[in-house]
Amino acid sequence: MCKFEICYNEILDNLKNIKNGVNKDTLICGVVKADAYGFGLSKMCHLLKSRVDYFAVAKLSEFLKFKELKIDKPCLILSPLQNKEFLVAIKNGAEISVDSIDDLEYIVGVCNTYNLIAKIHIKIDTGMNRYGVKNQEKLLKMLQKIKENAVIRLVGCYSHLFCAEKTQNNINQNKIFVRYKQIIQNFGFSPIFHISNSLGLKDKSLTYDMVRIGYDLYTNKQVSEHKFVCDVAEVKKVFKGETVGYDATYKAKKDMLIAVCNAGYADGVKRAFSNGGKVIIDNQFCDIIGNVCMDCFMADISSCEKVHKGDAVVIFGKVKEKLISVCDLAKRCDTIPYEIYTSISQRVKRVYRWRRYEYYNRKIQR
């Protein structure tokens, strides 16, 4: 079986550290887009519902799944919506991102037609050139439109930090954000201002009224307790000169023993792990050999004492003193840990657990 083991305690510990690092009155927004970064929307929302003030998703489809959970917390849709989506979002109580006068005018028409109130957050582009208002004149027109229409409530205004290590870039972004913030306040509005995502947590001057927490909420950057595991589907001998896997990219230099492992790129094992990635089997680091297949990959277990069908194969995680971190995997793939987590597909079973001592403590308290 292929499974993604998720430790609740690590998530709660991360949240506690985040709260300890910001002002007490700062709102916490748990970002649960992309199925909560692969950790499972439903489970994460229920775990966090009494511990965060806000939720955020990227798409209308994600918001509608959140809505089904009947959690009494506001939820912001971060990506722009298409015209036909506005009615569904507003009718269902979503807070929506708006960055153009055209969208604002359309929303006013929808609200007047259906007798609705729209709660909006204005998105400001502070240099990423993705979404957001980039022109002060356009912002002023939007603010005037909001002031003239009681069906629009300006709930928030936000931007997005986009450089992980470049402090000066954050400073430059913040200067732009401050100018827009002053314009909005001078217009008589007092929305929730938020620019800080996980990248800005170290700087309290960036926290404003709310911080949006995604990746840093779900995993510890040092030694994570989450684990991606599959099992050995088959053990077989390979003789010197034989090849392994698609395109014959691996040729055995000697007789060897291999494990066919029950996960592939359709599960989240990147093809970049081919011929060089490692897994943990029988408490040993074992090389992935040959190209990773859609549903399986092969590993060299010649140095293992004894491996049987059904034994555990750790793709990332810690086993005793052995560790394969998500950060290490990301470096090998020339990507970021976010992509590793979100690539773990839905056919991989999510298994949720508490640390053993915590589980018994919780059980006793009940």
Interval 250-273: pLDDT, tens: 999 999 999 999 999 999 999 999
Please report, for the chain, the start and end positions of each structural domain, with discontinuous segments joined by +: 8-218, 227-356
* Residues shown for the chain: 366
pLDDT at 272: 95
Decide if pLDDT at 364 tops 60.
no
Decide if pLDDT at 129 tops 90.
yes
Decide if pLDDT at 365 tops 80.
no
- Packing angle, helices 101-114 and 136-148, rounded to 10: 10
Cut 0.85: pTM above it: yes
At 170-195, the pLDDT tens digits run: 889 999 999 999 999 999 999 999 99
Query: Do the beta carbons of residue 225 and residue 45 sit within 8 Å?
Result: no
Decide if pLDDT at 360 tops 50.
no
Decide if pLDDT at 366 tops 50.
no
Question: What CA–CA distances, in Å, run from 220 to 62, 200, 223?
Answer: 25, 16, 6
Please tell me the class of the 8-218 domain.
alpha beta
Most confidently modeled range among 160-174, 198-212, 233-247: 233-247
pLDDT at 204: 81
Determine the 3-state secondary structure of 221 from DSSP.
Answer: coil
Taking the alpha carbons of 82, 38, 28, 51 in that order, is the dihedral positive or negative? positive
Determine if residue 44 is left, alpha or beta; phi over 0 gives left, psi from -120 to 50 gives alpha, anything else beta.
alpha
Mean pLDDT of all residues belonging to the chain: 94
pLDDT at 357: 54
Confidence label for 199 from pLDDT (cuts 50, 70 and 90): confident
pLDDT at 1: 84
Confidence label for 361 from pLDDT (cuts 50, 70 and 90): very low
At 77-110, the pLDDT tens digits run: 999 999 999 999 999 999 999 999 999 999 999 9
The residue behind tokens 């011929």 is 275
Report the alpha-carbon distance of residue 219 to residue 289 in Å, rounded: 29
Decide if pLDDT at 359 tops 50.
no
How much is the average pLDDT of 345-355?
A: 96
Query: Do the beta carbons of residue 184 and residue 122 sit within 8 Å?
Result: yes
As its CATH architecture, domain 227-356 has Beta Barrel (2.40)
Element (H, E) at 271: none
Beta strands in 86-241 (DSSP E): 95-98, 118-123, 152-158, 192-194, 210-213, 227-238
Report the alpha-carbon distance of residue 333 to residue 271 in Å, rounded: 9
Confidence label for 335 from pLDDT (cuts 50, 70 and 90): very high
At 292-317, the pLDDT tens digits run: 999 999 999 999 989 999 999 999 99
Question: What CA–CA distances, in Å, run from 345 to 3, 216, 266, 340?
Answer: 10, 21, 7, 10
Asked if domains 8-218 and 227-356 share a fold, the reply is no
Decide if pLDDT at 164 tops 80.
no
At 21-77, the pLDDT tens digits run: 898 999 999 999 999 999 999 999 999 999 999 999 999 999 999 999 999 999 999
